[in-house]
Amino acid sequence: MKEYHSIMIDIIFKHHGMLDKFIGDGIMATFGTPTPSGDDAINSLQAAMEMSLALKNLNERRSADGQKEIRIGIGIHYGPVIAGNIGNENRLEYTVIGDTVNIASRLENATKELRREIVFSEELKARVEKGIPVAPLGTIKIRGRERPISVYTVHDMGRYHH
């Protein structure tokens, strides 16, 4: 996991993301914290795409060495968060909370049933550049939400060059 985490964190930082925390073998990253920019949405999607390609290369090396492949699911949502130090005087942790975080987590969980490595929301899609080939995946019901949300993935990533 150390090599995997190192590769993924380098990609997150390269695209101006921030490592929020490790959740088991998962990585929670934010873009636009603590200071938002107009590029946060595209940075998050470009990081996800590069992470996917880097994982493909890592898995080719692992496979050649007789090791098991690593699979990931990346869920991305765009919206406001509450950011700051959470905890008490014994343990403070800078993190983000709120509906946006919950939806991103639900999208990450949906990658399994949708059988897609990257799944993102309509809110993110509306803010990414037109040059990225986006494929609709339909709508999914999100726990805690009354109405289903529209979800998307990146179509034919091999043809996208940034």
pLDDT at 157: 62
First-last CA distance in the chain: 27
pLDDT in tens, the chain (162 residues): 888 999 999 999 999 999 999 988 889 999 999 899 999 999 999 999 999 999 999 999 999 999 999 999 999 999 999 999 988 989 998 899 999 999 999 999 999 999 999 999 999 999 997 778 899 999 999 888 889 999 999 986 654 444
| 104 phi and psi angles, rounded to 5 deg | -60, -40
pLDDT at 160: 45
Taking phi first (over 0 means left), then psi (-120 to 50 degrees means alpha), and beta for anything else, what does residue 79 get? left
Torsion from C-alpha of 112, 49, 83, 36, nearest 10 degrees: -150
Contacts of 108 (CB under 8 A, 6+ apart): 26, 73, 74, 75, 119
Taking phi first (over 0 means left), then psi (-120 to 50 degrees means alpha), and beta for anything else, what does residue 156 get? left
Q: Tally the domains of the chain.
A: 1
Note down the domain range covering 143. 2-159
pLDDT at 89: 87
Query: What gap in Å lies between CA 155 and CA 45, rounded to an integer?
Result: 12
Whether pTM exceeds 0.85: yes
CATH code (residue 91): 3.30.70.1230
